[in-house]
Amino acid sequence: MDRLILQKAASYCAYQERTQDEVRKRLQKWGVWSEEADEIIAELISMNYLSEERFARTYAGGKFRVKNWGRLKIKQELSRRGLTDYNIRQGMAEIKDSTYEATLKELLTKKLTALKRTETDPLKLKQKLIRFALGKGYESELVWRTIEKLLEKQK
């Protein structure tokens, strides 16, 4: 195994959390294939540079806190990156229910305030709020419930 490539891969992983798939693609860019790539990935895991569980936790927590993504969008993205169901569950555990619902309410309140300036039709207003929240990846049932409560308070 090439120590220089291992060192390069270690610093690649140290810069930010990565999935095994991302590392494998990067190794291929560097001309490292199959068995040697597997050895390097195994070594990175044993040296704790690479952990898909840690990646899932960091990714889910970050996307929720920074971009206010909903669980559906985060799960879909983690799945797209080839993570196991176990790792996805570990990542989703980073998002607490109370914080999740409060974040959705806050997002919708801000969006409602912004939309009220331009939208006068209550039906279109509700439609735009729903589309916004679903686009962020929140569950439809939770979105409907939250919007109903918000609009009820507005009356």
Could you list the residue range(s) of the whole structural domain that residue 34 is in? 3-46
- Give the model confidence (pLDDT) of 10-39 as tens digits: 999 999 999 999 999 999 999 999 999 999
Q: Two tokens at 130?
A: 């729903």
- Give the model confidence (pLDDT) of 50-83 as tens digits: 999 999 999 999 999 999 999 999 999 999 999 9
Task: Clarify whether residues 113 and 134 are in a common domain.
Answer: yes
What is the reported pLDDT for 61? 97
Task: Clarify whether residues 102 and 147 are in a common domain.
Answer: yes
The domain tally of the chain equals 3
Tell whether the model's pLDDT for residue 1 goes beyond 90: no
Q: How many CB atoms lie within 10 A of CB 155?
A: 5
Cβ-contact 79, 21 below 8 angstroms: no
Report the distance separating Cα 116 and Cα 125, nearest Å: 8
Burial of 22 (0-12, 13-18, 19+ CB in 10 A): middle
Query: Between 46 and 153, where is the model more confident?
Result: 46
Task: Clarify whether residues 56 and 72 are in a common domain.
Answer: yes
Task: Clarify whether residues 58 and 101 are in a common domain.
Answer: no
